[in-house]
């Protein structure tokens, strides 16, 4: 096996069962303490780089917790996006069981993502206001990675790509995501291939509009199938995903309400009322409306 070098020059040397057993014998069961260069852990995790990214704008201790929590969320956004891309490729290849497994594990990531809001539950308005002005117009609304998740869920909006026009690489990636089918589009295309009556292909860059035909497809799946069936399991997994995503939105709303009330948002929005409108948009809407019709 050969070593692999990550960006920045750190080298990670693979080790197999024999190498590990040999190391245990040589060290008499104790952890290895001597390395030729930096520790393999730091080479792999880039811990020194990560810890160097907490560059606060003030000396107020509470700002660091706010920044770290936000960075943790960004990492989760990137992880979830990569998983949804993988699930989408599987759905496009009619690998429904495999895609559902990927989506199910992405639901678990929301446990960590949603718990991150709890880490800021102590943040009072006085504490937030003590460093808020130093953040200028920085706002979570401007997160490109979060926007990718919204686009993958079918919540498309060309104007929401515009804050990133001055960053060509990010802007191009977002506009490509805007024009690509969403994860839900891939689900519906798969259902159409399975014989369900699904509306004709729509403009993938347009905001998703619920359809009675899609609602009926989910009603049929629930009525005629059950646990163990791949389409039934996919429907339940998508519902779990929608629920956890709504949980994140709600926790965001409550964190804002708790730390700053109904003040205007830092990024130019109305703040609380903007988040309340976002919360009312259902993800995979027919999976919810079908429950009323069953």
Annotated binding site for heme: 252
Annotated binding site: 132, 252
Please give, one letter per residue, the 3-state secondary structure of the chain.
CCCEECCCCCEECCCCHHHHHHHHHHHCCCCCCCCCCCCHHHHHHCHHHHHCCCCCCCCCHHHHHHHHHHHHHHHHHHHHHHHHHHHHHHHHCCCHHHHHHHHHHHHHHHHHHHHHHHCCCCCCHHHHHHHHHHHCCCCHHHCHHHHHHHHHCCCCCHHHHHHHCCCHHHHHHHHHHHHCCCHHHHHHHHHHHCCCCCCCCCCCCCCCCCCHHHHHHHHHHHHHCCCCCHHHHHHHHHHHHHHHHHHHHHHHHHHHHHHHCCCCCCCCCCCHHHHHHHHCCCCCHHHHHHHHHC
Our measurement of the distance from residue 95's CA atom to the centroid of its chain's CA atoms, rounded to an integer in Å, reads: 22
Annotated binding site for substrate: 132
């Amino acid at each position: 096996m050969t070593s692999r070098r990550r960006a920045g020059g750190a080298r990670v040397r693979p080790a197999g069962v024999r190498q590990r057993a040999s190391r245990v014998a040589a060290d008499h069961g104790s952890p290895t303490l001597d390395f030729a260069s930096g520790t393999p852990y730091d080479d792999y995790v880039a811990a020194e780089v990560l810890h160097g990214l907490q560059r606060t704008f003030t000396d107020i201790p509470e700002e660091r917790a706010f920044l770290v929590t936000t960075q943790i969320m960004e990492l989760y956004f990137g992880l979830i996006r990569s998983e949804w891309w993988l699930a989408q490729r599987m759905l496009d290849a009619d690998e429904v069981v495999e895609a559902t497994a990927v989506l199910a594990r992405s639901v678990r990531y929301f446990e960590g993502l949603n718990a991150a809001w709890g880490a800021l539950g102590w943040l009072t308005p006085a504490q937030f206001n003590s460093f808020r002005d130093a953040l200028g117009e920085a706002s979570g609304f401007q997160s490109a990675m979060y926007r990718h998740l919204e686009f993958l869920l079918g919540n498309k909006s060309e104007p929401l790509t515009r804050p990133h026009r001055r960053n060509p690489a990010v802007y191009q990636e977002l506009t490509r995501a805007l024009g690509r089918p969403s994860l839900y589009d891939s689900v519906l295309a798969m259902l159409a291939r399975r014989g369900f009556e699904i509306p004709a292909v729509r403009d993938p860059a347009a905001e998703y509009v619920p359809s009675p035909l899609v609602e009926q497809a989910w009603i049929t799946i629930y009525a005629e199938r059950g646990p163990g069936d791949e389409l039934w399991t996919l429907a339940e997994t998508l519902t779990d995903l929608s629920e956890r995503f709504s949980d994140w939105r709600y926790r965001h709303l409550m964190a804002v309400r708790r730390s700053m009330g109904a003040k205007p948002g830092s990024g130019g929005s109305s703040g609380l009322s903007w988040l309340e409108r976002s919360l009312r948009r259902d993800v995979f809407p027919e999976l919810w409306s079908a429950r009323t019709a069953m």
